[in-house]
Amino acid sequence: MDGPDLVELYRNEGYAIFQNAVRPDTVALLRRELEERLHRTFEKYGFDVPSALGTPAFGNNTPGRWAALVPSRRPFLSEEVIANPRVIELLRGVHGSLGSDYERYAWSLGLIGSDTPVPAAPDQFPHRDDRRGCLATANLLLVDVDETMSPTEIWPGSHLPPGTEFHIGEIPPDGPGDLDRIVAGPAKKICAPAGTIVIRDQRLVHRGTAHHGHVLRPMMTFWYQLAGPRDRVPYRWATRFANAARRVTRGMGVRVKETSPARAAAFWHAHRYGCNVIAMSLSDRDEQLEIPSELWESLSDDAKGLLRYGCVDHEFSDAYRRARSLPLSVAVMSEGVLRVARTATAIVLGRGVPEP
Ligand SMILES: O=C(O)CCC(=O)C(=O)O
């Protein structure tokens, strides 16, 4: 399928798949480095690895699933990974198809992370990542994924209400029974070899499926966002506060009894909060993950454009300075206080899983 057909598929069905998008040696290196990092995380939280693998309740996303950002260095931030030519071509095509109202918009890369279910992880609930259509999630498979290896399942065409023309505005909330109706329709499990990139509209209904395999299923995750001149980001002091609140919430999870649902809930709160703040910031490359200048200098203009809201060697970017907003910063901090308070209350009262 060529460029224009892929843009049509993406607009109509909400996804596109690129096999052999990344070289096998890069994929092997990414897999090795990511798995080493995950094993260190399991150790940090006190899960001895064999039992963590057999205990799917542990996850910092949904049960048995680990979401983790990756450091600002190669191989994670290499060109073919973050600014893959086939992904860029599709994103440009989608942007171009929106017409002149979006001339002053450009794609940014908000999150550079990973999603890894452990063996025995159960099915996720079908969900949309976001209701706004300016966002796309790309996943790079780091292992061959067949039916047993927790393939992501999607419901093609579910990114828009029936009969709606493609647009990047927000879709209305799902009414009672809407998701059930979608899920009763035709689904597609994405089984594909390592090195494949799957890109989908964040409104598309999807889920990670149960993991019946015996090894981790690591995949890289990227959020691309079409950001315009009116988009705003929180001040860095607010994201620093958010990172601290996220650590406190996760720490509360670590301290509660292993089998307690409050533990999973605390991890989930920390994860959701982190995701919300990254989405608002248009970049996860803040002081904690800032990009070293030698790496920055080696990147192409496409990659620099995607990372324009990120921090390079302590330097705030012009895009970030122009976009920062006080009300958004206050909103970020209030959300942090609320999530920490809710998690603490639920743990103290032993009430189990607090509202996400
Ligand atoms: O791991 C997967 O296959 C999908 C994960 C996912 O959809 C999520 O965590 O939001």
What DSSP string runs through 12-71? Answer: HHSEEEETT-S-HHHHHHHHHHHHHHHHHHHHHTT--HHHHHT-TT--SSSTTEEEEE--
Domain that holds residue 98: 1-231
What integer pLDDT is reported at residue 223 of this predicted model? 97
CB of 115 sitting under 6 A from ligand 1: yes
CB of 283 sitting under 6 A from ligand 1: no
Which residue's CA is the closest to the ligand 1 atom numbered 2? 208
pLDDT in tens, 252-308: 888 877 667 777 788 888 999 999 999 999 999 998 899 999 999 999 999 999 999
How many structural domains compose the chain? 2
Determine phi and psi for 140, rounding to 5 degrees.
-105, 115
Q: Are residues 79 and 167 in the same domain?
A: yes
Q: Are residues 12 and 64 in the same domain?
A: yes
Q: Are residues 264 and 152 in the same domain?
A: no
Q: Compute CA distances 183 → 155, 166, 193, 233, 255, whole Å.
A: 7, 21, 25, 34, 37
pLDDT in tens, 11-58: 999 999 999 999 999 999 999 999 999 999 888 877 766 666 666 667
Give the number of the atom of ligand 1 that is nearest the alpha carbon of residue 217. Answer: 1
Q: Which of 115, 149, 211 to mutate to test the pocket of ligand 1 (most atoms within 8 A of CB)?
A: 115
Q: Are residues 198 and 253 in the same domain?
A: no
Q: Are residues 266 and 148 in the same domain?
A: no
Q: Are residues 339 and 204 in the same domain?
A: no
For residue 192, give both structure tokens: 């594909």
Q: Which of 145, 152, 276 to mutate to test the pocket of ligand 1 (most atoms within 8 A of CB)?
A: 152
Q: Are residues 24 and 97 in the same domain?
A: yes
Last residue within a domain, chosen from 207, 231, 255 = 231
Half-sphere exposure of 97 (CA within 13 A, CB side): 21
What integer pLDDT is reported at residue 4 of this predicted model? 72
Q: What is the mean pLDDT of the chain?
A: 92
CB of 208 sitting under 6 A from ligand 1: yes
pLDDT in tens, 322-351: 999 999 999 999 999 999 998 888 888 876
Q: Which of 69, 199, 206, 217 to mutate to test the pocket of ligand 1 (most atoms within 8 A of CB)?
A: 206
Q: How far is the CA of 31 from the centre of ligand 1 (A)?
A: 17
Q: Are residues 306 and 225 in the same domain?
A: no
Distance CA 181, CA 235 (A): 41
Q: Which of 91-95, 119-123, 260-264 has the highest mean pLDDT?
A: 91-95
**Percent of the chain residues past pLDDT 70, beyond the cut:** 94
With 0-12 / 13-18 / 19 or more C-beta atoms within 10 angstroms meaning exposed / middle / buried, residue 41 is middle
pLDDT in tens, 226-258: 999 999 999 999 999 999 999 999 888 888 776
Pairing of strands 324-325, 233-234: parallel
Q: Report the candidate in 211, 45, 202 with the shortest Cα–Cα distance to residue 118.
A: 211
Q: How far is the CA of 322 from the centre of ligand 1 (A)?
A: 33
